[in-house]
Amino acid sequence: MIELDVSLPLSRFPLRVQAALPSDTVAVLGPSGSGKTSLLETIAGLRPRAAGRVAIRGEAVMDTARGLRPPPERRRIGYVPQDSLLFPHLDVEENVRFGMARGAATRLFDEAVRILEIEPLLRQYPATLSGGERQRVALARALATEPRLLLLDEPLAGVDAALRGRILPYLLRIRESLAIPFLYVTHNAGEARAVAESALVLRRGAVVHAGAPEESIAAPSRDDPEARFDNVLAGMLSAGEPGAAGVFVVHGQRFAVPAERAGAPGPALYAVAPDDVLVSTRPLAGVSARNVLRGRVRSVEEAGGTAWIRIGAGGFDWTARLTRGALEELGLTPGLDVWLAVKTHAFRRLR
Amino acid sequence: MTAQPDLSIFLLTLRVAALATLFILPLGVAAAWYLARLGGPWRTALETLLSLPLVLPPTAVGLLLLELLRRNGALGRLLDRAGIEVLFTWKAVVLATAVMSFPLLVRPARTAFEEIDPRLLAMGRSLGGRPFTVFRRVALPLSWRGVAAGTLLAFSRALGEFGATIMIAGNIPGRTQTMALAIFQRTHIGEDAAALRLVAITVVVAFAVVGASEVLGRRRERRFAA
């Protein structure tokens, strides 16, 4: 449970966020410049002009009406900013150890290094790291301080940005093994859905949606041209035959995935872009796509010239993006039975 | 002629300049840090005040110090009560050179502090560091070249201070006579060759110190470069 009731004057508009989020894992969505970073900095205590109350699991982090306004060093909040802000004069290990109290358990350090897989980077300096590596080191550095809340501000990843640099798989691991509450700023509503139980959507400093991330997909997209809605699937990868496609199993449903990344069997995470999900109102036959599923339309939302279709199929809620024309031609409405087709190479491995 | 040997003049100068630099180092770094983080009209006012020794005639600064330190001056009375004699002793030389060198230390240090991304300092706080810890573990390591360059500059200025020194310390051989004062005195009594020997020493020392300061100020640590 994360309670937010804060205000902060900004140059373009005032930030005014009031939301009681029922879960400990929150995705923060919204277009660039909607106040997401300012919200995180307010919670971290880096905005002296901010006022209001923030509570995590009922424990107040700040409550200015009651005179509770602790400096950042006493908040125990792990902040991972967009640009990572690693200390350039320290190597990775020194960066991660920066916030650890002297004599703190080495377990904290070891755990952070293990979860973020930064062991091979420990002797390097930040200038030599890739963007994704920097984010991982910054997240490890935050984790090593044993924070009561993590704040993650993921940089906007272009459409072509390397998926493997994404922080999402590591965030899932943190959720699984450490259960630290977090606020995760992302432009990818699909990732938000995969990792967070609540979503907070901001627009011009105000809350336009607070609640379950699947309730609305159009809300974050309406004015965020960078918004993405990848279908993120977590499952098990079994070793395929050499040269053939890999087999990825989610909730008993088998998917054919590209062989080249399928070398290591075990838990895996794949993303499928909503543009790569084909929708048909008739049973599909004679298509080259290897993955065909039967499902039912759950919701249809329109934003601009685009239609977002939510389809339940194979135990998963898929998001497909269609043009408005295609939507009308197919006559898709909630409750309608449909067939989905996804090409093998539309599955991109995240972990 | 009871002229002091060159070496003892040189050593006295070195000792006095080193003491003056050590004395202003913590003060100057603190002032630079404070100025770098201060905004508004106060900053301009403070900066102007701190820079005055650079532009005032050194003798004017010396006279002001003299007024302060006179037995019935503002500071002089306190020092007198404590039994500390400053005027016309080596302590006066240290004080005069310290005051005159102070701005030269503050400016490069301040610039170096200003170049640090303030968000990096905020990050240090967020990770649990108290302000002084962040200063020690983030700000200083990132700006030590600027601080060192300023320190060397101040030291070289201290080596050659003349005007303020002669006003409050006089020109007493063996006690308050530094290189600059000795050159003046030797020239005054017509011992130009002896004065030139001292000049040669000062040129060599100044060249080394200012050169080192330049190198420090210019070169950036390579591993930081992306």
Do A97 and A22 belong together in one domain? yes
Do A73 and B225 lie within an 8 Å CB cutoff? no
Q: What is the model's pLDDT at position A165?
A: 65
User: Percent of chain B at pLDDT above 90?
Assistant: 76
Q: Does B225 fall in a domain?
A: no
pLDDT single digits (tens) A39-72: 999 999 999 999 999 999 999 999 999 999 999 9
Give the domain CATH number at A336: 2.40.50.100
Residue of chain B nearest A128, judged by CA positions: B226
Do A239 and A214 belong together in one domain? no
Tally C-beta pairs within 8 A across A and B.
Answer: 56
Residue B211 has pLDDT above 50, yes or no: yes
Q: What is the model's pLDDT at position A304?
A: 75
Cβ neighbours of residue A195 closer than 8 Å, sequence gap 6 or more: A25, A27, A168, A171, A172, A175, A184, A232
Do A76 and B123 lie within an 8 Å CB cutoff? no
pLDDT single digits (tens) B50-88: 889 999 999 999 999 999 998 888 888 899 888 899 999
Compute the average pLDDT of residues A316-335.
90
Give the domain CATH number at A24: 3.40.50.300
Do A330 and A182 belong together in one domain? no
- With beta carbons under 8 A apart, name residues in chain A contacting B127: 73, 98-99, 141-142, 145
The closest alpha carbon to A185, from A73, A79, A113, belongs to A79
Do A13 and A134 belong together in one domain? yes
Do B123 and A81 lie within an 8 Å CB cutoff? yes
For tokens 């040669």, the residue is: B200
Q: Which two tokens stand for residue A278?
A: 């084909």
Give the domain CATH number at B91: 1.10.3720.10
Least confident of A5-14, A238-247, B122-131, B194-203: A238-247
Q: What is the model's pLDDT at position A163?
A: 57
Quote the number of domains for chain B.
1
Give the residue from A208, A229, A250 where a domain finishes. Answer: A229
Q: Does B61 fall in a domain?
A: no
Give the residue from A229, A255, A289 where a domain finishes. Answer: A229
With 0-12 CB in 10 A as exposed, 13-18 as middle and 19+ as buried, what is A135? Answer: buried
pLDDT single digits (tens) A329-344: 999 999 999 999 999 8
Say how far apart CA A318 and CA A194 lie, in whole Å: 12
Do B125 and A85 lie within an 8 Å CB cutoff? no
Quote the number of domains for chain A.
2
3-state SS record for chain A = CEEEEEEEECCCCEEEEEEEECCCEEEEECCCCCCHHHHHHHHHCCCCCCEEEEEECCEEEEEHHHCECCCHHHCCEEEECCCCCCCCCCCHHHHHHCCCCCCCCHHHHHHHHHHHCCHHHCCCCHHHCCHHHHHHHHHHHHHCCCCCEEEEECCCCCCCCCHHHCCHHHHHHHHHHCCCCEEEECCEHHHHHHHCCEEEEEECCEEEEEECCCCCCHHHHCCCCCCECCEEEEEEEECCCCCCCEEEEECCEEEEECCCCCCCCEEEEEEECHHHCEEECCCCCCCCCCEEEEEEEEEEEEECCEEEEEEEECCEEEEEEEEHHHHHHHCCCCCCEEEEEECHHHCEECC
Q: Which residue has the higher pLDDT, A238 or A205?
A: A205
Most confident of A68-72, A191-195, A264-268, A297-301: A68-72
Residue A215 has pLDDT above 80, yes or no: no
Do A120 and A213 belong together in one domain? yes
Q: What is the model's pLDDT at position A317?
A: 87
- With beta carbons under 8 A apart, name residues in chain A contacting B117: 85
Do A72 and B126 lie within an 8 Å CB cutoff? yes
Q: What is the model's pLDDT at position B40?
A: 82
Do A154 and A124 meet the contact criterion of CB atoms below 8 Å apart?
no
The closest alpha carbon to B147, from B49, B28, B52, belongs to B28
Test mutation, A46, A83, A92, A133, chain B, max B CBs within 10 A: A46
Compute the average pLDDT of residues A303-318.
86
Q: Does B136 fall in a domain?
A: no
Q: Print the domain residue range for A21.
A: 2-229
- The complex's ipTM works out to 0.84
Identify which of A46, A89, A141 has the shortest CB distance to residue B141: A89
State whether residue B38 sits within 8 Å of chain A by CB. no
State whether residue A104 sits within 8 Å of chain B by CB. no
State whether residue A46 sits within 8 Å of chain B by CB. yes
Do A186 and A297 belong together in one domain? no
Q: What is the model's pLDDT at position A161?
A: 52
| pLDDT mean across residues, chain B | 91
Q: Which residue has the higher pLDDT, B221 or B13?
A: B13
pLDDT single digits (tens) B111-134: 999 999 999 999 999 999 999 999
Q: What is the model's pLDDT at position A260?
A: 64
pLDDT single digits (tens) A118-172: 999 999 999 999 888 999 999 999 999 999 999 999 876 654 455 556 788 889 8
pLDDT single digits (tens) A69-91: 999 999 999 999 999 999 999 99
Give the distance from residue B176's alpha carbon to the nearest chain A alpha carbon, in angstroms.
44
Do A141 and A245 belong together in one domain? no
- With beta carbons under 8 A apart, name residues in chain A contacting B141: 89
Q: What is the model's pLDDT at position A160?
A: 46
Do A182 and A296 belong together in one domain? no
Do A246 and A224 belong together in one domain? no
Strand segments, DSSP code E, in chain B are: none
Q: Print the domain residue range for B151.
A: 6-56+87-117+144-219
Identify which of A45, A87, A125 has the shortest CB distance to residue B223: A125
Q: What is the model's pLDDT at position B226?
A: 40
Give the distance from residue B120's alpha carbon to the nearest chain A alpha carbon, in angstroms.
6
